[in-house]
Amino acid sequence: MQTKTRLVLAIASSALFDLTESDAVFRRQGLDAYRDYQIAHEKEPLLPGAAFDLVKKLLTLGQGNVVDVEVILLSRNSADTGLRVFNAIQSYELDIRRAAFTGGSPPFRYMKPFGVHLFLSSNPIDVVDALDNGFAAASVLSHCLEATETPTIKFAFDGDAVLFSDVAEQIYQREGLAAFTAQEQAAADEPLPRGPFAEFLTRLHEIQQHYDAEAMACPIQTALVTARSAPTHERVVKTLRSWGIRLDESLFLGGMDKTEFLGAYGADIFFDDQAEHCHLASRVVVSGHVPHGIKNLR
């Protein structure tokens, strides 16, 4: 019998629950008022946030015999103000047992000890910290979407600056489409460098292989949704092949809006380095902005 593959998701309280009201108190009145507000509303349940449904699906996946899933709460709250969050976790019967409450300090320091594979937050600063320290991370956009009914978890990824580095995108931004196309054709047999989500995709692929080996229906699907088109698709295909990665679906859209395609695919979450693409896609799927690469120079 194969050993379970471990998958660890770290999530900020702002991505798991809707903290709009309490955040407004903090911004208008400061930390002391925020602390008082959270304590006064400690027993009031929080509404689900952008990544709530994804977390529920992942925790259900972890109840099987193939994947060891753990979701860890990484929060800038103190333990005192964070008690409301844990009360909400218990009220929704989410199997989240470990947490780090940093009291306002950057939470990325605890990702390595926890063995985190993916970090989701609504705080762009924390996401950038995580990316800069080698972790897959995204800033999830708020949404008002119904959860997908299927138990299958569908991940959708942009290519350049997400799965791959932005070396090709840099050429496109500096020299234009013709130079980008010529470069990618010339380098078709040269694998693209790995991007911030390459390791996370590899982990998902390892999980999929367990199900393939046991002839079980795999509850995880992956898709590439990229603005690339032929002939620049060849380098992408050969890069993934060199990594030993099999994607379930690949969409080469040639610059078309990705929104309808993501809806048709039924993605549970979509990762893209361009904020505009994420905002458009958030109308139909949960979107995670990956502030990495030349389009996000700070």
Please state the length of the chain: 298
DSSP states of 85-112: HHHHHHHTT-----EEE-TTS-GGGGHH
Q: Which of 129, 158, 268, 273 is catalytic?
A: 158
Q: What are the C-alpha distances in Å from 131 to residues 5, 108, 173, 254?
A: 23, 9, 22, 27
Is 257 one of the annotated active-site residues of the chain?
Answer: no
Interatomic CA distance for residues 259 and 275, integer angstroms: 13
- Pick from 175, 199, 231, 29: which is nearest to 119 by CA? 199
Q: Write out the catalytic residue numbers.
A: 158
